[in-house]
Structure 1
């Protein structure tokens, strides 16, 4: 007699190749979702919605270091080119896109600028702070010279729309040629340049908000009449050695105390950091550098 139960069971079984095909499609679909989220970020509604660009922002993001990725918090930095000839000026052009695929043109001003752009070589030499100009279509342009061959990192920091904390994106630039790495910097608290002496005080404490004081002196006297830069008496950039993570640094609000330019910095980890302080006096812009150790 024919065993109909066995026959029915075998009919319900899907062929092995079909099962494998379905499993592969599910895995591929999952990879596509994860890849999209990694590049552009999630587009689902976030706790805070800031309107016209369709971007949500989590306040905790402002405390994490930036510049480690080309895309973050729903924004994407897209350069026109990343290859330069060492020692030659070329126009560097880039656009910031939102998660809806459109160029961002709504940037809040900080000081008198809407885009904070700076470049440094991977060995933390050749620091440049530049001010690009935006076209009507959202394309930013800035003349850029990579003086020496090597790999560089470009940072774009901006405050989109009605966001309350800046977004910092980063992209690698290349200037082919024979690379000579700069010397390993030592921990320093004093810098001298063009008759100015700058001393920084405070401590970088890993996992905390650290307070930093910058004291600018000339002829052994405090300089108290500095010109404003981006709405403050000075501009401070802090990068972590190794991966060039850009720390969230902000000037302390209120009048200056003890002639110091005070800043607060979110220090994520222990390690060595490079600090670049810019100040302007009687129309002359100066940039001094320090190396600090966070414990």
Structure 2
């Protein structure tokens, strides 16, 4: 076989491999995003690129939660009810690099695995914690509130690597799908008589500090209870492809279940791209977990003018020494 023939066969193999990868991505990522990737590939097909290992270079892959597999781990065998109101189980298995179910996970924020379930338009958000059976199968009882497309995120730390991973898959629930409601920037939410304000700007130019302030009846709430090893948990998703942002807690973590804090909880994060982001803040008071929702636009590094605030946050007293996050 001459050199030209060998090169032609090698090129055909590459086309097949990348074509299969593109189809797998399109199964999770919305069609619009997949088309953008396709266009970008066509424009850069003849441009030399350097491939980096995300495991050894975390900055090479700042976006998480857009694939079913990463670093040798895969979210597989997803099962769930198929219709609204149907009782069943939400279940899945994490497969490791050896092809077997992963059962050895580190505890992160008081749990071995965090599952985030949200409709693709950002509604019906839930943060839940399934249990694992001896075979490595994760599950919990489940019902869908509305029809439509949903994303399931599994956030965990394999004991073999000690590195955070977020994998995702999708589910379509049969039934009449309501038209999505457009989301505008919002930094104030009210849930169960609590007023929850988000203070700070999200940017791609380095780390952003976001402060969540909880009040009730115009008075600051200083009775936030420890929840998942902190005084609150924040999840940020990029609108459109629902890329999962890594949000770090700021401040001291609680040292016991009776240590209270408030009204402020701080987080640090960075947006991978300019655009709109959906944020969900879980907090606990009197043993009850509540979720406040916000919408922020992230500015790029060239945009030095922060967006005008849409709400005025209530004033807070001097913070205590026990503030924490995530």
- 1:285 aligns with 289
SS in 1 for 2:223: coil
1:264 aligns with 2:268: yes
Cα distance, 1:165 vs. partner? 3.6
Structure 1 residues 154, 62: closer, same or farther in 2, change over 3 A?
farther
Q: List alignment gaps of at least 5 residues for structure 1.
A: 1-13, 40-45, 48-55
8 Å Cα contact 1:59/1:165 also seen in 2: no
**Alignment correspondent of 2:318:** none
* TM-score of the pair, normalised by structure 1: 0.80
Q: What TM-score does the superposition give when structure 2 sets the normalisation length?
A: 0.73
Deviates more, 1:187-196 or 1:253-262: 253-262
**Which residue of structure 1 lines up, in the alignment, with residue 32 of structure 2?**
none
1:275 counterpart = 2:279:
yes
Larger radius of gyration: 1
Can you give the 5+ residue segments of structure 2 that lack an aligned partner in the other structure? 25-51, 255-260, 300-326
Partner of residue 248, structure 2: 250
Q: Distance in 1 between matches of 2:80 and 2:286?
A: 36
Aligned to 1:135: 133
Q: For residue 204 of structure 1, what is the aligned residue in structure 2? A: 202
Equivalences, count: 266
- Following the alignment from structure 1 to structure 2, what is the Cα–Cα distance between the partners of residues 264 and 63? 18
Query: Higher strand fraction: Structure 1 or Structure 2?
Result: 1
The answer to which of 119-128 and 136-145 deviates more is 136-145
| 1:182 matches 2:175 | no
- CA distance, structure 2, for counterparts of residue 97 and residue 36 of structure 1: 20
Query: CA contact under 8 A between 1:199 and 1:214: conserved in structure 2?
Result: yes
Out of 60, 80, 90, the residue aligned to residue 88 of structure 2 is 90
CA shift at 1:260, angstroms?
1.3
Tell me the equivalent position of 1:229: 227
- Separation of aligned partners in 2, 1:36 and 1:61: 26
Distance between the aligned counterparts of 2:87 and 2:57, measured in 1?
38
Aligned equivalents of 1:33 and 1:183: distance in 2? 38
- Root-mean-square deviation (CA, aligned residues, Å) is 3.0
Q: What aligned pairs does 1:41-52 form with structure 2 within 5 A after superposition?
A: none
